[in-house]
Structure 1
Amino acid sequence: MARAARLHSLLSLQALYPTLTRRSTFSADFFQLSCLCSTGRLFSSMNALKPPLKPVLAQAKRGFSVNDDDVASPDDLRYEAPLRIVEYPDPILRAKNKRIESFDDNLKKLVGDMFDIMYKTDGIGLSAPQVGINVQLMVFNPVGERGEGEEIVLVNPRVNKYSKKIVLFNEGCLSFPGIYADVERPETIKIDARDINGARFSVSLSGLPARIFQHEFDHLQGVLFFDRMSDEVLDTIRAKLQALEKKYEDKTGCRSPEKIETRQSKKVAVGFGKGKPR
C-alpha cells in the first residue's frame, strides 16, 4: 500500500500503537487509531512512540488451522535481488499464492528485502506477489519510515472476524503508481497468522493497521484495490488504469491479460468470503 495514499488522505498522524508484547492473543487496544474517513483525517488516541524495529513475535495459539493449499517449494521462494515492484496488469498479481512452511534464513532475507523496497518506494505495506513471488507473505509499517514505528511480518494470514461497520478511505497501491481512490472496508478485523519464525498467533487490528492489512491480504487472494471500488469511483481512475494496460502492452509486446472495461460488473463485495462479520 502506498505511503502517499496515507499522506494524500490525512492531515496528521499524531501517534502510533505501542510495541506488541509477547502473548498468544492481542487486543484491538494495541491498535487504537480512530479513522474519520468522511473528512480524510486520521487521529490517534495514544501517545506517539517509537519502538525498536523488529518483526512481530507471538506464542503459538492452539487450534490454529489453515486450508490445505499448495505449499511453497524452495524454488517458489527463490529470487534475484534487487526486488522490483510488479505493476498492474501483470498476471503475477492475479496468480495463486502458496502457503509458506519453511521458516529459514532465506525467508528472513526475503522479508528484509521487501522492507527495503517498500521504504524506497514510499510504501507502508507490501505483499510478496507485488515483488513477483507468489507466496502468502506480507510486510507493513504504518509509519512508512525506516527506524520508526513497528515492522510487522505476517505469514499465511487468515481472516477470523471482521466488523460490520464499514469505513471509506482514500487508498493508493505501489502496483498502481500515481493512482488513488476511495475504498470501503471493515473498520476492524481479527486475523490468524504466523510470524517470521513460524509461531502461530491471533491479533485484532483497527484503524490504519487494519486498512493496510486488508489491502495486502487482498493481494494474497489475487484481489486488487479497484475490484472493491464503486462504479462511480472506478470511473474516476479508469483512464489511468487503461494507461497502465497500454504501458504493459508497449513493454511486453503482448496483449494486456485483463482490461478494465471487462471488469465493470465484477466488483468484489465489501468483507471477506472467509471469516465472519461480528
Structure 2
Amino acid sequence: MAPAGQARRGFSFQEDNLASPADSYHAAPLKIVEYPDPRLRAKNKRIGTFDESLKKLADEMFDVMYKTDGIGLSAPQVGMNIQLMVFNPVGERGEGEEIVLVNPVVHKSSKNTFSYNEGCLSFPGIYADVVRPASVKIDARDINGARFRVNLSGLPARIFQHEFDHLQGMLFFDRMTEDVLDSIRSELKALEKKYEDLTGQPSPENIDNYKQRQQFAAGFSRT
C-alpha cells in the first residue's frame, strides 16, 4: 500500500495449499509486480516453514517497501504467491513499528466503515477512495510461526485490509464504487497497455470489460 495522496474467503488447510520451499524461493533484488500481472490474481499458499529464508524474504520486502515510499507490501506484489505481508504505518526505516503477518485470517470486522484515499505500489501514481471497516480482529502467525490474535484500528487496520485483499487475489479497485472506478479507468488502461508493450502479450485484464466482483461486495467473512 502507498500513503494516501502522495507520489510517494481464506484458504482451507488442505496440504495442496501449503507452500513448498520452492514457492518461497526468490532471487534478489525483489521487484514490484504491477497491474495487470496475473500473479496479482493468483492463489496464495499458506506458509508452513518458518526459517531463515522466510525472515530474509520479509526483510527484503521491507527494503522494497521503503525504497518505493510504501507503508505496506504483500508477497504477491513481489511475485511470491504465499501468504505473507509486511507493513509499517510510518513508512520510514528506523521509525514506527515493523509488522510481519503470516497466514492471516480475519476473525471479525467492525460494522463502522470509513473512506480513505488509497494508493498501491502495484498501481504507481494511482489514488482513489476505498470504503473499508474501521477496525478488524485478526488471527495470524509471526515470522517465527507463533500464533497470535490482535485488534487493529485506524491506519494499521486500513493497511492490513489492503494487503489482506492482495493475499486473496483482490485488488483495491475491486472495492471501489463505479463512479470512483470511472475516475481512474484511463490510468488502469494505461497500465494494461504498458504490460502489453513490455511483454508482447495481451493484457490478462481489461478494465473496459470489468464487472464488479460480487463475492467481495459484503466485505470480510470469518475464514
The TM-score bracket by the shorter chain reads over 0.9
Contact 2:24-2:54 at 8 Å conserved across structures: yes
Q: 1:74 to 1:123 in 2, by over 3 A?
A: same
Q: CA deviation at 1:273?
A: 3.3
Q: Deviations over 1:193-249 (max 9, x none)?
A: 000000000000000000000000000000000000000000000000000000000
Structure 1 partner of 2:152: 205
Instruction: Provide structure 1 residue ranges, at least 5 long, that are not aligned to the other structure.
Output: 9-65
Equivalent of residue 249 in structure 1, options 170, 174, 196: 196
Q: Does 1:227 align with 2:195?
A: no
> Quick one: which amino acid aligns to residue 2 of structure 1?
A
Question: How many Å separate the matches in 1 of 2:27 and 2:2?
Answer: 23
Q: Supply the AA of the counterpart residue of 1:68.
A: F
* C-alpha separation in 1, matches of 2:211 and 2:173: 10
1:130 is matched with 77
TM-score, normalised relative to structure 2 = 0.94
Query: Following the alignment from structure 1 to structure 2, what is the Cα–Cα distance between the partners of residues 241 and 273?
Result: 28
CA distance in 2, matches of 1:175, 1:273: 25
Q: Is 1:237 paired with 2:195? A: no
Alignment correspondent of 2:100: 153
Alpha-carbon distance in 2 for matches of 1:148, 1:68: 36
Instruction: Tell me the residue number matched to 2:22.
Output: 75
Q: Following TM superposition, by how much is the alpha carbon of 1:272 offset from its aligned partner in structure 2, in angstroms? A: 1.0
Q: Distance in 1 between matches of 2:26 and 2:213?
A: 33
Which one-letter code corresponds to 2:198 in the other structure?
K
Q: Is the 8 A contact 2:75 2:81 kept in 1?
A: yes
Match of 2:217 in 1: 269
* 1:84-119 per-position Cα deviation (integer Å, ceiling 9, x unaligned): 000000000000000001000000000000000000
Total equivalences in the alignment: 217
Secondary structure at 2:184's aligned position in 1? helix
Between the aligned partners of 1:119 and 1:194, the Cα distance in structure 2 is: 23
Matched to 1:141, the amino acid is N
Given that 1:156 and 1:194 are in contact with CA atoms closer than 8 Å, whether structure 2 keeps it comes out as yes
Q: Structure 2 CA distance, aligned partners of 1:109 and 1:229?
A: 34
Question: CA, structure 1 residues 274+260, in 2 after alignment: closer, same or farther (shift >3 Å)?
Answer: farther
2:138–2:151: 8 Å Cα contact kept in structure 1? Answer: yes
User: Quick check: which one's helix share is greater?
Assistant: 2
With normalisation by structure 1, the TM-score equals 0.76
1:214 is matched with: 161
Larger radius of gyration: 1
1:119 aligns to 2:66 (yes or no) = yes
Percentage of pairs with the same residue = 70
Contact 2:106 2:221 in 1 (8 A): no
Alpha-carbon offset, residue 266 of structure 1: 3.0
RMSD: 1.3
Contact 2:5-2:127 within 8 A present in 1 as well: no
- 1:102-149: CA deviations, max 9, x gaps? 000000000000000000000000000000000000000000000000
